Every structure is written in structure tokens, then in C-alpha cells.
Chains A and B, each alone.
Chain A
């Protein structure tokens, strides 16, 4: 028991200690503001110049008179406007991300994290941009462009007003700088080294606002292959050197787009805020003036989806959909049965979009017995009841994808059809492969008593486990036993890399414009023939089906180098038929739409969104209406109802 004096004394001690602690932190604060002492200052300007001088045939410095006079310059100003003229600028948009980004770099270790799309891929303006409704080129950093007669060089005239978010004008040398960065071993990213070495032949400067990019081979549309070359701010990457990953870990590079991350917008581990660039150079240009409307976009880090939903219902988040394209049935149906939805405070939207489909499906490893037998593979195709999965688990909201190449427009073969669930046909094919008797437990066996049992590997996410168990139950009807193996996703990647799986659930992301075959179906990525004649599996490639067909290989090589769109289409259709005939890639389901929920003060244009959008927020056509926000808050206090609202935009439905 302490006496009064003792207690007073100990309290005094406590106060003294607290004061000492405050003083220490105040003294140390300037230390951290002074800058990172780990990285001594560095200037690579001379190094960069020497790099350019060392390859004069790649980095060409010409004069304005070297620009050919007979070029047909295009400006792309005749396309329809994007966004809604009624859009209001301003407000803060609250949304969420599942985890804090590992870095703000866009290249290097962890550089391709999910958050990069939010602050880099969807924001940066490149030389020309693809108009998402008209599917043609519209101006970006370049206000005019022209293709040379031989189709190998594209000339660009930069917009003189184009500036980085810190006010420095974009210069032609910034495009030259990209090669210095991307070809350097310091970024520790061999994919970029390889890409920038192979895909470009030369870059030339004519004057302060004119440049040209040359590609090595003829392509159907050379603008596709050159417009993607990004500028890299020379003044920001002056310190680019061997310690690039560590030095630039948390430095956000200046952007040509509308939003930037200021240091005060970074709350490590808790949230990241994008702020609109003051006096953005494109803010009054056609196609951009009605987009990028909120002043701030705040991404809160929220670990669990359930918690995000509850915060959304309370109004602390404006939008719910970020993690899923097609909101899972649990959220769209059950969890939306709540007063905020009935009274119309929260609105729901369904948008049918046109975009290459994620090739979600089941892939069979042909190098494993008995999957090398075509009849076994066809039987498996007929034993998978995806329709029941769609009807029950996805509540009928999806459709069966007809092939793993869906969504590429004219480059998808329209004759491809997925094989339906048919027990008799499955048994027929299994019998042809020798599995004709049913064992004591209902599973087919062959003459030597081997059971038809295969392992289906999948990531340990609830949706896939449900799908796997349902497929397993249905496959037993056809006599096929599927052993469901659910693994941690990193382990799953390792297993796929080593090609030790039998059947696996996988999904490849796809980007326009053309489907790719080399990574997934060329024999170079399957087997490597050793000097003594034996074959060894090639690990770490996308060819997880181990397709190695000497007839397909030359066609794949030709497809990579196709020179016209018609040739590309012909080869794509042919290759897709050949892959389909092998029955190794079994397509799963496909959502022809995306759906989302938002508070009614988040407004979208009358037609919902742009045609070629993969996710609702990527196009930035939405805006925040502060009047509607006040009106909604008032209505919530009074209990007034606006009626349940679900927008369905199916004008682009196929």
C-alpha cells in the first residue's frame, strides 16, 4: 500500500518520464524529416548520356528536317466524347484495398502488385490511348501520329502542354530514359529487360516535341506496339542506380495522369490517398475533361471482405466491388436484403461489358498418365458438370464459357463449343480408353484393375473448394473419381511451375488485342530435348498442359509475327480449333457482366460505363454529387424512401 507521498512521488516520476519521452521524439523528428541517410545522393546523367551514345543506331538524334514530308498525320479528334458533361468535379471517394501495397515502384521486386493498377496503369496517359467505346486510337501525350510507308516506324508529335505531375514538361528524352531504366539489370526484372530489347528496334528524336519509334517486324497495327512505350521522368530517376529497389521503394514517381500520391497521402499500413493533380495539362482536352472527377480517392486497408461490407453499409465506403468483378451471390442476394437497399440509399448496377475473358478453367497435364490418352481427356470433358456449378453455386448468373480464348472479338473462333456434361458420352470415351468396368465403389477400372482416379488441384479459396466438391460429386456419376486437393496459392504456383499436377484449376489474365499461344502451347515451353536424346520437362513456363505438337509449333511461330489483321484472325482461329481438339483446356464459367453497389451520391453517366471496361471504376467516368449526398443523409434521418434501384446496362450485351 503506497502512502500519499509515495503516490505523489511516483506520479511525479511518471510525468517526468513522459516529458523526457516527448522531448526525445521531438528531437528525433527532424532527423527523419531530413531525408533517408541510407541512400547517398547520386546523379546518373552522364551515365545515361553515355548509354545513349553507345548505341547510335538505337538512340537516334536527328533534326526536324529529317521527318518525312508525305506522312498522313492522324489526330483522332472525330470520335465520340467520353464521360458525361453533367459530371461535377470535387469530393473524396472512399474505397478499400485488402492489403497495403508492398511498394510504389512499377517495376522490380513486387512491382506488379495489385495496387499498381490503381496508381499507375489506370492513371498514366500514354502517347495514344484506345478509345474504349469506339475501339480506335485517340490522342494522349501525342496530339498527332503517323505511320511510315513501310509500316515499321510510327511518328508522334507531343502535346506541348504535356507535363509531369510535378510541373516539369514531358520531353522526348524522357522516352529515351525508359530504355535506360528497362534495359538495366538494376531493376531486377528480367521480363522487362527481355521485352524492351526484343520489341523495339530504334527510337529517334527530331525536335523538342517530335519523336519516332521503330519496331523490328511488320505487325497488323504498329501503333499498338509503339504507343505503349511510357516516358520515364529523367529528373525523378536521376538517382537510379544499383540500389534501385530499396531507394525507390516508397517513392511515387511523377505521372502524366490525373492523380498523384503526395507524401501526406500515405499512412503506412492504413491507407493511401490519391490527390488530383493541380492544373492537370489534359483537364480541358476532349475525351479527358469529363473524366477523373473526384478530388481525392482514399483507399483504406481493410483485411476482411465482411468488414468492408459492413463499413460500406454504414456509409464509410462509397463503393463495393473492388475485389470481385461479378459480386459473389452471397453479397448480391442475401446481404443486399437490408433497409439501405430497399430505400434506395444504396443503388446496384449490372453492366454487360466487352473485354477479353479471364481464361478460367480446368487444365489437364498431358505428360501424366492416363491423361496422354485423348479418349480419357474427352471423357473428363464430358464428366465435368459446370452447368450445375453455374446454376447452384453461382445462382445462374454466369454462363458456360465456350473456350478459353473467349472475349477477343473477331479473333475468337465463333465455332468453338465447350463439351457439356453427358454421362453416356463420358462412359463411351472412357470405355474406348479401356476403362469399361465399374468397380465395387462405382469408379471405373481398366483391365489391369487400375481405377480412374485423378487429382484436381486448386487454390484454397472458398468458392473453388465448393466448385471442386460439386464437380467431384457429379463426376462420380460418370465413374471418374476426382481427388480434390486445395493448396495455398503460392504452393499451387510452385506445383504448376514444376508441372507435377494432373488436373488444375487455373486462370490466365488476358489483355487485348490478340490471344497468345506461344506461352501456353508451344513445345519449347513443354519439353527440352537433351543432348543424349531424352526429353526433360521445362519448368517455370505457362505451358501447364504440356502440349507439344510439331504441327502446331510452326503455326504458333507464324501467329506471333502475323502482319495483317486478317492473317492474325485466320491463324488464331486455326490454332484455337487445334487446342480445342486436344481437349486439354476445359473452360469454366464466364460472367458477361460486372456488378457493383454504391451509395446514390456516386453518379455514373446515363449509359453506365464505357464498353471496353473490365472493372467499373477503371474508366473514371463517375463523379460525386455533394447535393445528392446531403439529400440522402437528410432522407436517412427522416426515413424517406427513394425506392429500390438496380440499374441494368445491357446495351453492349452479346
Chain B
């Protein structure tokens, strides 16, 4: 892609982002600059626009990479493992940018009484918009069921996974069926064990009777209620036969026999197993939130954290490490001692203290981790700058009268950037692991934010629901493995030696 094309793309993106924001539409890929708030978002959009216009106007029509860079790119592409991992990660990042287009609880399109709505990008649409009796945000899943039952020509299109990553824990209710005298869960071959209840035909939210089943036969406590919700009967079943029956209201229970809707229902208490019918493809966690949605939300958090962390650490590394390495002397001496003192601070304790005083947001958490994690990159860059500074071409430039700024920005830095590129994937792996570790211990993000570490912690406490821990584990392992493969491939691609010999 030439600089001009890049410029046009950036300008287009910035203009569209500004346009959507001005119309208060939150379109998935174009809302990324505004993740940090309105002010910061407009600033970012302005910067992108500026860069795009400048590139489009001043940029060359063609761009030639230096032969060295071409060789490095070619070598990277030839390492299939790293290259494919890189493409996979790009694809996953693109998926993350799609946000509630693929995973979310707001509907994509709602067609109601002739008008079309796009709830996933507009502001909150109250229930009254679609004829529901409440003013809070519409429950689009319930709306879809309602429209399907009414058959008035209205329809709702939900995303692939119709659950949000946070604050979305609907109840899962399953139907039971009777086959050959035993009660089974619909579609299951094993007789049902657990609680089951029937509801009133006229008032489906009120239970009529509740039984306990063991291997498809009633055995255990039984209770019954009237329409007002008061308990009117109780009994005990012993292997299918009723014993100890008590009717509190003298015959009222008998009169209600026909009031119950046919069929038995049961509440599938969270955590519930993966189920295609309920669209919980990886099951739910102990609160009832969809595991796939939480993995998605956690991946978005990891991406944001990775970008922020890498930016901060690299900027600080270049500034501090570069100046320490270039200017040296007493400044370097003092700077290094300060870095040593800082390195001895106990990272985990301070994070725990800060976490218990305030409830940290993602930015604050990444800030704390970068405050304790910038030393590594700084040292690398200091060494690299020291090495470059002692090279002949820098001496030659100085003899020719180049200013310090020119030497730093035109000669030293470009050669030092190679190290940053090699470091980047491992820093990303580091921050993802640190974030997950803090969340696992409970000192990270607040409980209503989706995070892999918290899901992993929940999974280890609930081993008898294996889908929680295996999903979180698989997600973390795959992403970290992909990042590591990319890192290794980059390192090998940037290695000046093509072959290494052992003596």
C-alpha cells in the first residue's frame, strides 16, 4: 500500500468516525477512537485526519522498502508458523473490533410496524418503542420470542451470539417430557433427576406445583401454590406414590387441577452446560452470563491493554533509555541507580494495596503495571543506543557537523527500532498474562467487567462444571501461543545472521 492510499484510507476512516459520532451512532469498527471518552476521542480523530490528509497530499505514490527491510519481511513470511499465527491474530483483532455486531444483546435489525431500527448502533431504545410496557432498555431476545408468537409481520435479527459480555444473566428454562411413564429432559436419553414445576395457564410466572424427580420418578417433597402465590398444599412422594399429603385450604388444591398449563418446566440453574438450543455455545458461568461472550469481552480488554501498555512502555523506553544511552556520563550513572531502586519495589504488594483502596479501571491497572514494567525495555534500549553511538557512522555524522537531534532521530533511532519490533510480541504476552494473573487473584478489574483471569478463577472453584475452566484455559493458551510464535518468527526474521554456526 503506498503512502497516498494509506492517507486516503485514514482520511476516510476519520471522517466516517466523526460523522457517526456526530449522529450519535456507535458503529463497531468506527467507535474505537472514542473508547477513551469524548474529548480524547475527538483528539485522536483529529490526529488521524491530520495524518491522513498529510499523507494523501504529501505522500509519494509509490513506496519502496529498503532491501534490508524487504529481506526481513520475506524471511518473516517464509516462517509459515509465525506468519500464519500473525494472520490469525489479525483476524481475531478484527473480530474484536466488530464488537456487538457478532456478540451482543442488542438486536441487529428490528422491523416493527413498517419501520426499521438498528438497535446495536443507536442509543438505548426503551421498551415502549416496540409496544412493551416498560421504559427500560428493550429485551430483544424476549421481543424476538414475542414477535414469533404473534406473527404480525414484525421480526428481529439478533447477532450470532445473542448475549452481552457484561451484566447479562437471563434465566434458562428447559422443558421436560414424559416418555413411557418416566420424565426426561427434552432430547435427553437419561431419566431426569432434579426439581420440576408446572405453571398456571393464565399466569405463567406463578408456579402451580413443584416436584422432585429421581431417575424420572417422583420422589421427595412436593409443594403447591394458588394464583396469589400462597402455598396451599404439600406432600411427599416415595418412589412415585404420594404419601403424607396435606391440603392447607380444604379442597382448594383439587379445584385448581385444571388451572395448570400442560407440561413440566425446570430452571436450569447456572452454571449451565453448552447448549445449541439456548445459543450458549460454551455454556454459562455461575452467575448465568454466557462464557463465549465473556471470552470475547476479555479478548477486547486484553487487546486494549496490550496496545496501551506497549505504547507507554516503548515511549518511555525510547525517551529514557535513549537519552541514558546517548548522553551517558553522570546522567546515566544516576539514572541507572534510580532504575535499580525502582526495580526493588514489590510489584504485587503495591498492586494489591492500590486495588483495595480504589476500584481500578483497565487504564489505571495498565498504568500501574507499566509503572513497574518499563525498566526492561529501557535497559534494552539504553544498551542498543550505547552500541549504536559507538559505531563509525555516528562518529562520521558528528564529524560532518550534524546536530545531536539529527543524529538521534535520523541515525540512531531507526536502527534501534528493530529491537523494539522484536520485543513487542513478548511484551504483549507479558501484559496479557499479568492482567489475567491479577484478575485471577481478585486484585484486578471490578467484578462486572469481563476478564479471562476472573473466569479462570471461577472455573477452578467449580471444577465439576468443566466448560468454564476449559474455555478460559483454551482461550488464554491459544492467544499466548500465537503471540509467542509471532514473536519467535519476528526475532528470527530480524536476526542479521541467516545461519548460525556452533564451534
Contact = CB atoms under 8 A, between A and B. Distances in A.
Contacts of B270: 392
B357 A477 contact: no
A472 interface: yes
Interface in B447-501: 447-448, 461-462, 464
Interface string B52-88: 0000000000000000000000000000000000000
Contact of A486 (B123, B135, B446): B446
A485 B136 contact: no
B356 A392 contact: no
A484 B447 contact: yes
Interface residues of A, number: 38
A588 B415 CA distance: 64
A466 B287 contact: yes
Interface in B165-197: 167-169, 171, 193
A392 B136 contact: no
A491 B357 CA distance: 8
Given A423-B134, A478-B136, A441 B269 contact: no
Contacts of A644: 214
A617 interface: no
A476 B136 contact: yes
A462 B457 CA distance: 11
Contact of B137 (A329, A395, A476): A476
Contact of B123 (A441, A485, A488): A441
B193 A466 contact: no
A646 B236 CA distance: 12
A635 interface: no
Nearest to B269: A395
B126 interface: yes
Interface string A400-422: 00000000000000000000000
B136 A334 contact: no
A485 B269 contact: no
The majority secondary structure among interface residues of chain B is loop
A487 B446 contact: no
Contacts of B359: 483, 485
A150 B402 CA distance: 105
A66 interface: no
Contact of B287 (A337, A395, A470): A470
Interface string A326-341: 0001100111010000
Contacts of B348: none
Contact of B136 (A335, A442, A470): A442
Contact of A468 (B135, B447, B462, B464): B447
A438 B137 CA distance: 10
Nearest to A484: B448
A484 B221 CA distance: 37
A462 B286 CA distance: 10
A469 interface: yes
Contacts of A441: 123-124
Interface in A632-646: 644, 646
A423 B288 contact: no
B24 interface: yes
B269 A392 contact: yes
A460 interface: yes
B167 A427 contact: no
A301 B448 CA distance: 33
A333 B134 CA distance: 36
B50 interface: no
Given A334-B464, A470-B287, A479-B135, A484 B356 contact: no
Contacts of B135: 427, 438, 479
9 contacts: A438-B124, A440-B124, A460-B442, A465-B447, A468-B447, A469-B169, A477-B134, A485-B446, A486-B446
Given A491-B356, A648-B221, 19 more contacts: A333-B269, A392-B288, A395-B269, A438-B126, A441-B123, A442-B137, A462-B461, A468-B447, A469-B167, A469-B448, A472-B167, A473-B167, A476-B167, A479-B135, A479-B136, A483-B359, A485-B359, A486-B446, A488-B356
